[in-house]
Amino acid sequence: MANSGVDTKRRRFLIAATSVVGAVGVAPLAYAFLGSMAPSARALAAGAPVEVDVSKIEAGQLTRVLWQGKPVWVVNRTPEMLSNLPSLDNALRDPNSDVLTQQPEYAKNATRSIKPEYVVLVGICTHLGCSPGYRPEVAPADLGAEWKGGWLCACHGSRFDLAGRVYKNVPAATNLVVPPHYYKTDNIVLVGLDGGKA
């Protein structure tokens, strides 16, 4: 008697239909909630280019500026520093800058720069985003006899040479990023824009 008047087919249809409508409702709700966590219009608008006067950087020194919330380094490399670069190729993962995402075309060269002495790099480790420490000295005790100057990331020990090229057998897998930049005048470099698109 209990089931005599029950139309199970109809009941199943109603359950299914309700579930479908419910699911259709949940999807936009989830989309709205999760979407709210993406960067807001305000965050998207930040990030104007910055200027650096390279003539003020002394030989061998590094200068830091903030661009798009990230450190950007400009280093004035000495002739010895530059002459050491090719000797490191065997110890590096990508000595010829073949990974194209890591630098604009005009920096895919032996010094990874427009002017050989001045290298412009985003100072963020390509492993997990710490800012590596500048270690220009040659063969310091803690870095070993093979060290010819460069950057050591304190976070997990990634190493980069003075052109921002990554060593083998360290956690980072790609060279430091060279941001878009160009020389507005002989001494003023503009970080954040390519020459052509200025």
Residues near another protein, by CB under 8 A: 34, 37-40, 43, 47, 64, 66, 68-71, 90-91, 123, 126-133, 142, 144-146, 153-157, 168-173
Q: Which residues contact 131 (CB under 8 A, 6 or more apart)?
A: 71, 123, 124, 125
Pick one of another protein, ligand FES, none as the site partner of residue 66 (Cβ within 5 to 8 A by kind).
another protein
* Residue 156 designated active-site: yes
**Biggest alpha carbon distance in the chain?**
99
Smallest gap, in angstroms, from Cβ of residue 101 to ligand FES? Answer: 18
Catalytic choice (156, 168, 187, 188): 156
Strand order in the sheet with 133-135: 133-135, 150-152, 159-161
* Closest C-alpha among 33, 181, 54, 41 to residue 106: 181
Side-chain half-sphere CA neighbours of 95 within 13 A: 10
Q: Does 128 bind ligand FES (CB under 6 A)?
A: yes
- Sites for ligand FES among residues 154-183 (CB under 6 A): 155-158, 171-172
Report the candidate in 99, 106, 105, 118 with the shortest Cα–Cα distance to residue 176. Answer: 99
Taking CB within 5 to 8 Å according to partner kind, which of ligand FES, another protein, none is near residue 11?
none
Cα-based angle 64, 74, 131 (whole degrees, multiple of 5): 50
Identity of the residue, 120 or 153, whose beta carbon is nearer to ligand FES in the bound complex: 153
Instruction: Taking the CA atoms of 176, 162, 151 and 157 in sequence, report the sign of the dihedral they define.
Output: positive
| Shortest distance, position 80 Cβ to another protein, whole Å | 21
**Closer to another protein by Cβ: residue 79 or 140:** 140
The set of catalytic residues is 156
Binding site for ligand FES (CB under 6 A): 125, 127-130, 153, 155-158, 171-172
